Amino acid sequence: MTDSLPSASVFDIETFVAKLPKAELHLHIEGSLEPELMFELAQRNNVAIPFDSVEAVRAAYDFSNLQDFLDIYYAGANVLLTARDFEDLTFAYFKRIAADNVRHAEIFFDPQTHTDRGVAFETVVEGIIAGMNRAEAELGVTSGLILSFLRHLPEEAAFATLEMAKPYLDRFIGVGLDSSEMGHPPSKFERVFAACRELGLKICAHAGEEGPPEYVHEALDLLKIDRMDHGNRAMEDEALVARLAKEQMTLTVCPLSNLKLCVVKDLKDHPIPNMLAKGLHVTLNSDDPSYFGGYVNDNYIQLAKAVGLTREQIIQMARNSFEGSFLPDEKKAQYLAEIDAYVAAN
Ligand SMILES: Nc1ncnc2[nH]cnc12
Ligand SMILES: [Zn+2]
């Protein structure tokens, strides 16, 4: 009589992840520029791009390391010129993640990528904020904006960017540190991050994506981060792992990014199961979804299939994504209750 038994014991990852409420905490809005929109904006703004088709753009997304990717990513951003461009880019991202049932996103933008080619800081911020406001009104997805400094540039340039940002401080929930990691340790930015903390901004930094565990120590001790982006190479230092677990530091891990940038050779080798086993407060994120071939749900599903994540581990990381957000406690509790209701019903 086995055919009368309920078949619900088989865990269907795709179906379960699809509607699971989640937050995205590591996303570069410039990295959500899909080739189709790149072409549309290039035409609209009369900007030349070195590709003659959408397929040619996608074919160029074959990277050996972080720098390979960054060269193409900064070139792609050249098509973004007006507030409307930034609004269209931002709204397109939110529309896409609403389909993944991402309920909240805290997104990075790189102002220096734009101000250094003559686009006004105000244009960038007004456009992105307009897209975020539209997303909340039309899609019900809440969000926060994080100003990220480019670490391959000098600390003085970060200070100059912070000056530009001062009239708009209430628009930002925090600051971040991204771009080429090797040779640009967190210590290079200790003073500018101290100034940001004084201004009441939350602190994030990419650390341990390609850089050694020492950079992770510096992000904790010198920048005094509230959240760590990536953190993969922290796993090489047992005492550091124990500290991250003890402090319940949120790590915004990006599996498909790690695969595309050769941080891991194969998704099967991804450190997430080990991170979970060590009690780290990890979340799954897309980083630059247009360039890395997947949005948040793709990251959950492909990783789950590669390393064999359990339903409980998936739920835990979705919970972590709200707990590790910079939302006020009441709002976190609301979203966590959405997860509880979903889990009870599915
Ligand atoms: N994965 C990444 N690492 C560093 N800088 C970035 N900028 C955009 N994506 C990045
Ligand atoms: Zn990143």
Per-residue pLDDT of the chain (346 residues; tens, 9 = 90+): 444 444 445 689 999 999 999 999 999 999 999 999 999 999 999 999 989 999 999 999 999 999 999 999 999 999 999 999 999 999 999 999 999 999 999 999 999 999 999 999 999 999 999 999 999 999 999 999 999 999 999 999 999 999 999 999 999 999 999 999 999 999 999 999 999 999 999 999 999 999 999 999 999 999 999 999 999 999 999 999 999 999 999 999 999 999 999 999 999 999 999 999 999 999 999 999 999 999 999 999 999 999 999 999 999 999 999 999 999 999 999 999 999 999 999 9
CATH number of 254's domain: 3.20.20.140
Strands (E) in 101-201, as ranges, are 102-109, 142-150, 174-178
Is 184 annotated in a binding site? The answer is no
- Give me the count of residues in the chain: 346
Looking at the CA of residue 110, tell me the nearest atom of ligand 1. Answer: 7
Number of domain units in the chain: 1
Nearest atom within ligand 1 for CA of residue 181:
4
Q: Which domain holds residue 252?
A: 2-345
CA of 40: how far to CAs of 53, 85, 125, in Å? 11, 10, 21
Look at residue 161 and give its three-state secondary structure: helix
CA distances to 7, 63, 191, 263 from 294, in Å:
30, 15, 36, 16
114 is known to lie in a ligand binding site: no
The CB of 229 under 6 Å from ligand 1? The reply is no
287 is in an annotated binding site: yes
Ligand 1 pocket test, pick from 71, 206, 215 with the greatest ligand atom count within 8 Å of Cβ, gives 206
Q: Which of 34, 209, 210, 218 is catalytic?
A: 209
